[in-house]
Amino acid sequence: MNRSTSIGYWLAAEAEGRGLMTAAVRMLVDHAFREWGLHRVVIEVVADDARSRAIPERLGFREEAVLREAKLLRGRYEDAILYAMLAPDWPWSPGREATGSE
């Protein structure tokens, strides 16, 4: 109804550290904007999970809010960070590398 969607991710341990999740999320966001014509994509990440947070940050998402004790992990409520990208701000086009340097 709001032309908005969310993405969550969890990668098998043996596949970490090769840039796979950044590439996968970039493709999904691109699909959401270009193919589905959505306006907003959000990602919620546990606040103290630096590797998970690096993904929306590398892709240029904006940090919008702290969601207090929003995630129940291993029996503990953890704060989460809400990141969002709007279609007019999406900087990536097919074939361009997500280096985070632009």
Ligand X SMILES: CC(C)(COP(=O)(O)OP(=O)(O)OC[C@H]1O[C@@H](n2cnc3c(N)ncnc32)[C@H](O)[C@@H]1OP(=O)(O)O)[C@@H](O)C(=O)NCCC(=O)NCCS
Residue 100 token pair: 């985070």
Per rule CB under 6 A, count of chain residues that contact ligand X = 17
Give just the sign of the alpha carbon dihedral 57, 17, 7, 86. Answer: positive
Residue 83 DSSP class: E
Going by C-beta distance under 8 Å and a sequence separation of 6 or more, which residues neighbour residue 81? 44, 45, 46, 47, 53, 63, 65, 66, 67
Q: How far is the CB of 88 from ligand X (least distance, A)?
A: 24
Nearest CB to ligand X, comparing residues 3 and 27: 27
Residue 94 token pair: 């097919």
Residue 73 token pair: 């992990």
Q: How far is the CB of 54 from ligand X (least distance, A)?
A: 5
Nearest CB to ligand X, comparing residues 18 and 76: 18
Please identify, among the stretches 33-41, 50-58, 62-70, 84-92, the one whose residues bind ligand X according to the rule CB under 6 A: 50-58
Binding residue for ligand X (CB under 6 A) from 3, 6, 19, 31? 19
Binding site for ligand X (CB under 6 A): 9-11, 16-22, 45-46, 49, 51-52, 54-55
